[in-house]
Structure 1
Amino acid sequence: MRNTNRYQVNKANSLWQIYQTVSFWKVMKNFIVIQLARYTPFLAMKNWLYRTFLRMGVGGQTAFALMVMPDVMFPEKITVGSNSIIGYNTTILAHEYLIKEYRIGKVVIGDEVMIGANSTILPGVTIGDRAIVSAGTLVHKDVPAGAFVGGNPMRLIYTKEEMEKRMQGDADA
Protein backbone atom coordinates (compact mmCIF):
# COMPACT_ATOMS: atom_id res chain seq x y z
CA MET A 1 0.00 0.00 0.00
CA ARG A 2 1.18 3.53 -0.74
CA ASN A 3 2.17 5.74 2.19
CA THR A 4 -0.69 8.27 2.30
CA ASN A 5 -2.74 9.96 4.99
CA ARG A 6 -6.47 9.38 4.50
CA TYR A 7 -9.17 11.88 5.38
CA GLN A 8 -12.85 10.92 5.35
CA VAL A 9 -15.55 13.26 4.01
CA ASN A 10 -19.25 13.17 4.80
CA LYS A 11 -21.32 15.09 2.26
CA ALA A 12 -20.51 15.49 -1.42
CA ASN A 13 -17.40 13.93 -2.95
CA SER A 14 -14.10 15.18 -1.59
CA LEU A 15 -13.32 17.43 -4.56
CA TRP A 16 -16.31 19.62 -3.66
CA GLN A 17 -14.52 20.30 -0.35
CA ILE A 18 -11.18 21.13 -1.93
CA TYR A 19 -10.76 24.62 -0.48
CA GLN A 20 -11.30 23.29 3.02
CA THR A 21 -8.11 21.25 2.52
CA VAL A 22 -5.95 23.75 0.63
CA SER A 23 -6.14 27.51 0.14
CA PHE A 24 -7.57 28.81 -3.14
CA TRP A 25 -4.75 31.40 -3.30
CA LYS A 26 -2.09 28.73 -2.80
CA VAL A 27 -3.55 26.71 -5.68
CA MET A 28 -3.70 29.81 -7.93
CA LYS A 29 -0.07 30.75 -7.17
CA ASN A 30 1.10 27.16 -7.70
CA PHE A 31 -0.84 26.87 -10.97
CA ILE A 32 0.78 30.02 -12.38
CA VAL A 33 4.29 28.95 -11.32
CA ILE A 34 3.80 25.43 -12.71
CA GLN A 35 2.53 26.76 -16.04
CA LEU A 36 5.58 29.03 -16.35
CA ALA A 37 7.90 26.14 -15.54
CA ARG A 38 6.13 23.70 -17.88
CA TYR A 39 6.91 25.86 -20.90
CA THR A 40 10.32 27.30 -20.06
CA PRO A 41 13.23 25.62 -21.85
CA PHE A 42 15.71 26.63 -19.12
CA LEU A 43 16.31 23.76 -16.70
CA ALA A 44 17.99 25.89 -14.02
CA MET A 45 15.07 28.31 -14.09
CA LYS A 46 12.55 25.46 -13.68
CA ASN A 47 14.43 24.12 -10.67
CA TRP A 48 14.62 27.62 -9.17
CA LEU A 49 10.85 28.13 -9.63
CA TYR A 50 10.09 24.76 -8.07
CA ARG A 51 12.42 25.27 -5.11
CA THR A 52 11.60 28.93 -4.44
CA PHE A 53 7.88 29.21 -5.05
CA LEU A 54 6.60 25.65 -4.65
CA ARG A 55 9.04 24.53 -1.90
CA MET A 56 9.76 21.28 -3.73
CA GLY A 57 12.96 19.47 -2.89
CA VAL A 58 14.97 19.44 -6.12
CA GLY A 59 18.54 18.14 -6.25
CA GLY A 60 21.35 19.60 -8.32
CA GLN A 61 21.50 18.82 -12.05
CA THR A 62 17.96 17.40 -12.04
CA ALA A 63 16.14 17.95 -15.34
CA PHE A 64 12.39 18.40 -15.67
CA ALA A 65 11.45 18.03 -19.33
CA LEU A 66 8.89 20.16 -21.12
CA MET A 67 5.30 19.89 -19.84
CA VAL A 68 6.05 18.06 -16.55
CA MET A 69 3.10 18.60 -14.17
CA PRO A 70 3.95 18.55 -10.45
CA ASP A 71 1.08 18.45 -7.97
CA VAL A 72 -0.67 21.83 -7.98
CA MET A 73 -2.07 21.52 -4.46
CA PHE A 74 0.78 20.01 -2.43
CA PRO A 75 4.02 20.40 -4.43
CA GLU A 76 5.98 20.77 -1.19
CA LYS A 77 5.41 17.05 -0.64
CA ILE A 78 7.53 16.21 -3.72
CA THR A 79 11.27 15.58 -3.47
CA VAL A 80 13.51 14.73 -6.43
CA GLY A 81 17.15 13.82 -5.88
CA SER A 82 20.23 14.91 -7.80
CA ASN A 83 20.97 14.24 -11.47
CA SER A 84 17.53 12.77 -12.20
CA ILE A 85 15.45 13.16 -15.36
CA ILE A 86 11.69 13.59 -15.28
CA GLY A 87 10.40 12.91 -18.80
CA TYR A 88 8.09 14.91 -21.03
CA ASN A 89 4.49 15.34 -19.84
CA THR A 90 4.99 13.33 -16.63
CA THR A 91 2.52 13.99 -13.81
CA ILE A 92 3.64 13.78 -10.18
CA LEU A 93 0.69 13.68 -7.76
CA ALA A 94 0.84 14.18 -3.99
CA HIS A 95 -2.95 14.07 -3.56
CA GLU A 96 -5.98 12.03 -4.62
CA TYR A 97 -9.56 13.21 -4.22
CA LEU A 98 -11.98 10.29 -4.13
CA ILE A 99 -15.71 9.99 -3.45
CA LYS A 100 -15.66 9.33 0.31
CA GLU A 101 -12.11 10.43 1.16
CA TYR A 102 -9.04 12.26 0.01
CA ARG A 103 -5.44 11.13 0.40
CA ILE A 104 -2.22 13.07 0.69
CA GLY A 105 1.24 11.52 0.54
CA LYS A 106 4.86 12.42 -0.07
CA VAL A 107 6.55 11.47 -3.33
CA VAL A 108 10.26 10.78 -3.05
CA ILE A 109 12.30 10.30 -6.22
CA GLY A 110 15.94 9.33 -5.62
CA ASP A 111 19.23 10.32 -7.21
CA GLU A 112 20.01 9.46 -10.84
CA VAL A 113 16.47 8.27 -11.54
CA MET A 114 15.14 8.30 -15.08
CA ILE A 115 11.39 8.63 -15.57
CA GLY A 116 10.15 8.17 -19.12
CA ALA A 117 7.70 10.46 -20.90
CA ASN A 118 3.97 10.43 -20.13
CA SER A 119 4.34 8.63 -16.81
CA THR A 120 2.10 9.25 -13.80
CA ILE A 121 3.41 8.98 -10.26
CA LEU A 122 0.77 8.56 -7.56
CA PRO A 123 1.00 9.95 -4.01
CA GLY A 124 2.85 8.08 -1.30
CA VAL A 125 5.39 6.49 -3.65
CA THR A 126 9.17 6.26 -3.28
CA ILE A 127 11.36 5.64 -6.31
CA GLY A 128 14.84 4.43 -5.29
CA ASP A 129 18.19 5.75 -6.50
CA ARG A 130 19.19 4.85 -10.08
CA ALA A 131 15.79 3.34 -10.88
CA ILE A 132 14.41 3.53 -14.42
CA VAL A 133 10.69 4.01 -15.10
CA SER A 134 9.74 3.35 -18.72
CA ALA A 135 7.57 5.76 -20.69
CA GLY A 136 3.83 5.68 -20.06
CA THR A 137 4.09 3.95 -16.68
CA LEU A 138 1.57 4.35 -13.87
CA VAL A 139 3.76 4.27 -10.74
CA HIS A 140 1.32 3.01 -8.12
CA LYS A 141 3.78 1.49 -5.64
CA ASP A 142 7.37 1.91 -4.51
CA VAL A 143 10.18 1.22 -6.98
CA PRO A 144 13.32 -0.42 -5.53
CA ALA A 145 16.70 1.26 -6.06
CA GLY A 146 18.31 0.29 -9.37
CA ALA A 147 15.20 -1.45 -10.71
CA PHE A 148 13.71 -1.09 -14.18
CA VAL A 149 9.88 -0.90 -14.13
CA GLY A 150 7.19 -0.21 -16.66
CA GLY A 151 3.63 -0.61 -17.77
CA ASN A 152 0.11 0.00 -16.59
CA PRO A 153 -0.20 -1.43 -14.09
CA MET A 154 3.48 -1.04 -13.32
CA ARG A 155 5.50 -4.21 -13.03
CA LEU A 156 9.11 -5.01 -12.28
CA ILE A 157 11.02 -5.71 -15.49
CA TYR A 158 14.54 -6.06 -14.06
CA THR A 159 15.89 -5.93 -10.51
CA LYS A 160 19.05 -3.98 -9.71
CA GLU A 161 21.07 -7.21 -9.84
CA GLU A 162 19.61 -8.23 -13.21
CA MET A 163 20.31 -4.75 -14.58
CA GLU A 164 23.93 -4.94 -13.38
CA LYS A 165 24.37 -8.34 -15.08
CA ARG A 166 22.93 -6.96 -18.33
CA MET A 167 25.22 -3.94 -18.18
CA GLN A 168 28.24 -6.17 -17.44
CA GLY A 169 27.28 -8.44 -20.36
CA ASP A 170 27.04 -5.41 -22.69
CA ALA A 171 30.47 -4.19 -21.51
CA ASP A 172 32.04 -7.63 -22.12
CA ALA A 173 30.63 -7.88 -25.64
Structure 2
Amino acid sequence: MRKTTRYPVSGANSLWHVYKTVPFIKVIKNFIIIQLARYTPFLACKNWMYRTFLRMNIGEQTSFALMVMLDIMYPEKIKVGKNTIIGYNTTILTHEYLIDEYRIGDIEIGDEVMIGANSTILPGVTIGDGAIVSAGTLVHQDVPVGSFVGGNPMQIIYTAEEMKERNKNNAVYIVE
Protein backbone atom coordinates (compact mmCIF):
# COMPACT_ATOMS: atom_id res chain seq x y z
CA MET A 1 0.00 0.00 0.00
CA ARG A 2 1.29 3.46 -0.86
CA LYS A 3 2.00 5.78 2.06
CA THR A 4 -0.35 8.72 1.50
CA THR A 5 -2.39 10.97 3.74
CA ARG A 6 -6.04 11.10 2.71
CA TYR A 7 -8.18 14.24 2.95
CA PRO A 8 -11.93 13.83 2.36
CA VAL A 9 -13.90 16.58 0.59
CA SER A 10 -17.60 17.22 0.21
CA GLY A 11 -19.59 18.74 -2.60
CA ALA A 12 -17.68 19.09 -5.85
CA ASN A 13 -14.79 16.75 -6.66
CA SER A 14 -11.51 17.41 -4.89
CA LEU A 15 -9.89 19.25 -7.80
CA TRP A 16 -12.44 22.02 -7.34
CA HIS A 17 -10.92 22.48 -3.87
CA VAL A 18 -7.35 22.74 -5.17
CA TYR A 19 -6.60 26.30 -4.02
CA LYS A 20 -7.89 25.51 -0.54
CA THR A 21 -5.16 22.85 -0.37
CA VAL A 22 -2.21 24.71 -1.93
CA PRO A 23 -1.69 28.47 -2.44
CA PHE A 24 -2.25 29.69 -6.00
CA ILE A 25 0.98 31.74 -6.00
CA LYS A 26 2.98 28.63 -5.01
CA VAL A 27 1.51 26.71 -7.95
CA ILE A 28 2.41 29.54 -10.36
CA LYS A 29 5.99 29.78 -9.03
CA ASN A 30 6.45 25.99 -9.14
CA PHE A 31 5.01 25.84 -12.66
CA ILE A 32 7.47 28.43 -13.97
CA ILE A 33 10.50 26.78 -12.32
CA ILE A 34 9.51 23.28 -13.45
CA GLN A 35 8.87 24.37 -17.03
CA LEU A 36 12.21 26.19 -17.22
CA ALA A 37 14.02 23.16 -15.81
CA ARG A 38 12.26 20.73 -18.17
CA TYR A 39 13.95 22.40 -21.15
CA THR A 40 17.29 23.20 -19.50
CA PRO A 41 20.07 20.99 -20.89
CA PHE A 42 22.41 21.76 -17.97
CA LEU A 43 22.02 19.06 -15.31
CA ALA A 44 23.75 20.99 -12.51
CA CYS A 45 21.53 24.00 -13.25
CA LYS A 46 18.37 21.87 -13.05
CA ASN A 47 19.42 20.42 -9.71
CA TRP A 48 20.25 23.90 -8.38
CA MET A 49 16.82 25.19 -9.47
CA TYR A 50 15.06 22.24 -7.85
CA ARG A 51 17.00 22.58 -4.58
CA THR A 52 16.84 26.37 -4.39
CA PHE A 53 13.35 27.22 -5.58
CA LEU A 54 11.38 24.01 -5.01
CA ARG A 55 13.13 22.91 -1.77
CA MET A 56 13.69 19.40 -3.13
CA ASN A 57 16.28 17.08 -1.60
CA ILE A 58 18.46 15.92 -4.51
CA GLY A 59 21.71 13.97 -4.23
CA GLU A 60 24.95 14.84 -5.98
CA GLN A 61 25.37 13.86 -9.64
CA THR A 62 21.70 13.01 -10.05
CA SER A 63 20.43 13.53 -13.60
CA PHE A 64 16.96 14.64 -14.61
CA ALA A 65 16.55 14.09 -18.36
CA LEU A 66 14.78 16.48 -20.69
CA MET A 67 11.04 16.94 -20.08
CA VAL A 68 10.83 15.31 -16.63
CA MET A 69 7.59 16.55 -15.04
CA LEU A 70 7.67 17.05 -11.29
CA ASP A 71 4.64 17.51 -9.08
CA ILE A 72 3.56 21.14 -9.37
CA MET A 73 1.70 21.25 -6.05
CA TYR A 74 4.19 19.65 -3.65
CA PRO A 75 7.63 19.17 -5.27
CA GLU A 76 9.26 19.54 -1.85
CA LYS A 77 7.92 16.06 -1.03
CA ILE A 78 10.26 14.49 -3.61
CA LYS A 79 13.62 13.13 -2.41
CA VAL A 80 16.15 11.71 -4.88
CA GLY A 81 19.43 10.06 -3.87
CA LYS A 82 22.87 10.47 -5.39
CA ASN A 83 23.96 9.38 -8.87
CA THR A 84 20.40 8.58 -9.98
CA ILE A 85 18.97 8.95 -13.49
CA ILE A 86 15.37 10.03 -14.08
CA GLY A 87 14.51 9.28 -17.73
CA TYR A 88 12.97 11.44 -20.42
CA ASN A 89 9.38 12.58 -19.88
CA THR A 90 8.98 10.80 -16.54
CA THR A 91 6.22 12.14 -14.29
CA ILE A 92 6.68 12.19 -10.50
CA LEU A 93 3.49 12.90 -8.54
CA THR A 94 3.15 13.59 -4.81
CA HIS A 95 -0.56 14.35 -4.94
CA GLU A 96 -3.68 12.89 -6.52
CA TYR A 97 -7.10 14.50 -6.62
CA LEU A 98 -10.00 12.05 -6.67
CA ILE A 99 -13.80 12.47 -6.53
CA ASP A 100 -14.34 12.30 -2.75
CA GLU A 101 -10.81 12.93 -1.47
CA TYR A 102 -7.31 14.02 -2.32
CA ARG A 103 -4.12 12.26 -1.25
CA ILE A 104 -0.61 13.51 -0.61
CA GLY A 105 2.46 11.34 -0.16
CA ASP A 106 6.25 11.63 -0.19
CA ILE A 107 8.33 10.11 -2.98
CA GLU A 108 11.70 8.64 -2.02
CA ILE A 109 14.04 7.56 -4.78
CA GLY A 110 17.27 5.95 -3.60
CA ASP A 111 20.91 6.18 -4.66
CA GLU A 112 22.02 4.91 -8.07
CA VAL A 113 18.50 4.26 -9.30
CA MET A 114 17.69 4.28 -13.00
CA ILE A 115 14.17 5.23 -14.07
CA GLY A 116 13.39 4.67 -17.74
CA ALA A 117 11.70 7.16 -20.04
CA ASN A 118 7.96 7.84 -19.88
CA SER A 119 7.49 6.30 -16.45
CA THR A 120 4.97 7.58 -13.91
CA ILE A 121 5.62 7.48 -10.19
CA LEU A 122 2.55 7.80 -7.97
CA PRO A 123 2.44 9.44 -4.50
CA GLY A 124 3.69 7.61 -1.42
CA VAL A 125 6.18 5.35 -3.22
CA THR A 126 9.74 4.44 -2.21
CA ILE A 127 12.20 3.20 -4.84
CA GLY A 128 15.13 1.40 -3.22
CA ASP A 129 18.84 1.95 -3.85
CA GLY A 130 20.17 0.44 -7.06
CA ALA A 131 16.73 -0.35 -8.50
CA ILE A 132 15.98 -0.19 -12.21
CA VAL A 133 12.56 0.91 -13.46
CA SER A 134 11.86 -0.05 -17.07
CA ALA A 135 10.66 2.59 -19.53
CA GLY A 136 6.93 3.23 -19.51
CA THR A 137 6.36 1.79 -16.04
CA LEU A 138 3.51 2.87 -13.74
CA VAL A 139 5.17 2.75 -10.30
CA HIS A 140 2.18 2.24 -7.99
CA GLN A 141 3.97 0.46 -5.13
CA ASP A 142 7.36 0.39 -3.45
CA VAL A 143 10.30 -0.94 -5.47
CA PRO A 144 12.68 -3.22 -3.53
CA VAL A 145 16.40 -2.40 -3.30
CA GLY A 146 18.36 -3.61 -6.34
CA SER A 147 15.38 -5.01 -8.21
CA PHE A 148 14.38 -4.59 -11.84
CA VAL A 149 10.71 -3.67 -12.34
CA GLY A 150 8.51 -2.80 -15.27
CA GLY A 151 5.05 -2.74 -16.76
CA ASN A 152 1.65 -1.22 -16.25
CA PRO A 153 0.88 -2.04 -13.55
CA MET A 154 4.43 -2.47 -12.29
CA GLN A 155 5.69 -5.96 -11.58
CA ILE A 156 9.01 -7.22 -10.27
CA ILE A 157 10.88 -8.72 -13.22
CA TYR A 158 14.09 -9.61 -11.35
CA THR A 159 14.84 -9.44 -7.62
CA ALA A 160 18.17 -8.05 -6.40
CA GLU A 161 19.52 -11.59 -6.08
CA GLU A 162 18.45 -12.51 -9.61
CA MET A 163 20.01 -9.30 -10.96
CA LYS A 164 23.29 -10.10 -9.20
CA GLU A 165 23.29 -13.61 -10.71
CA ARG A 166 22.52 -12.25 -14.21
CA ASN A 167 25.33 -9.70 -13.98
CA LYS A 168 28.07 -11.83 -12.40
CA ASN A 169 29.73 -12.60 -15.76
CA ASN A 170 29.11 -9.19 -17.29
CA ALA A 171 32.44 -7.34 -17.64
CA VAL A 172 30.80 -4.05 -16.69
CA TYR A 173 30.00 -5.38 -13.20
CA ILE A 174 33.23 -7.31 -12.48
CA VAL A 175 35.42 -5.58 -9.90
CA GLU A 176 39.12 -6.38 -10.12
TM band (smaller chain): over 0.9
- What fraction of aligned residue pairs are identical, expressed as a percent? 75
Distance apart, 1:146 and its partner CA: 0.1
Kindly provide the CA deviation profile for residues 55-79 of structure 1, in whole angstroms up to 9, marking residues without a partner as x. Answer: 0110000000000001000000000
Structure 2 unaligned segments of length 5 or more: list them: none
**Alpha-carbon distance between aligned partners in 1 of 2:115 and 2:24, rounded to the nearest angstrom:** 30
Equivalent residue number for residue 18 of structure 1: 18
CA distance in 1: counterparts of 2:72 and 2:19, whole angstroms: 13
Q: What letter corresponds to residue 93 of structure 2 in structure 1?
A: L
1:118 is the counterpart of 2:98: no
Match of 2:96 in 1: 96
What's the C-alpha RMSD, in Å, of the aligned pairs? 0.9
Question: Matches of residues 66-77 of structure 1 in structure 2 within 5 Å?
Answer: 66-77=66-77
State the alpha-carbon separation in 1 of the partners of residues 47 and 69 from structure 2: 13
Q: What is the deviation of 1:170? A: 3.0
Q: Which amino acid aligns with 1:93?
A: L
Partner of 2:41: 41
Q: Which runs of 5+ in 1 are unaligned?
A: none
Residues in 1 aligned to 2:167 and 2:117: alpha-carbon distance in whole angstroms: 23
Runs (4 or more) in structure 1 with deviation over 4 Å come to none
CA distance, structure 2, for counterparts of residue 169 and residue 151 of structure 1: 27
Could you tell me how far apart the structure 2 residues matched to 1:167 and 1:37 are? 35
Cα separation, 2, equivalents of 1:28 and 1:170: 48
Aligned length: 172
Residue 102 of structure 2: SS of its match in structure 1?
strand
Per the TM alignment, residue 169 of structure 1 is displaced from its structure 2 partner at its CA by: 3.3
Q: Which residue of 2 aligns with 1:59?
A: 59
Distance 1:157 1:127 in 2: 15
1:27 matched to which residue of 2? 27
Partners in 2 of 1:72 and 1:140 — Cα distance? 19
- The CA deviation string for residues 85-119 of structure 1, in whole angstroms up to 9 with x for no partner, is 00000000000000000000000000000000000
Secondary structure in 2 aligned to 1:169? Answer: coil
Q: Say whether 1:8 aligns with 2:8.
A: yes
Q: What letter matches 1:170 in structure 2?
A: N
Structure 2 length-normalised TM:
0.96
Aligned to 1:164: 164
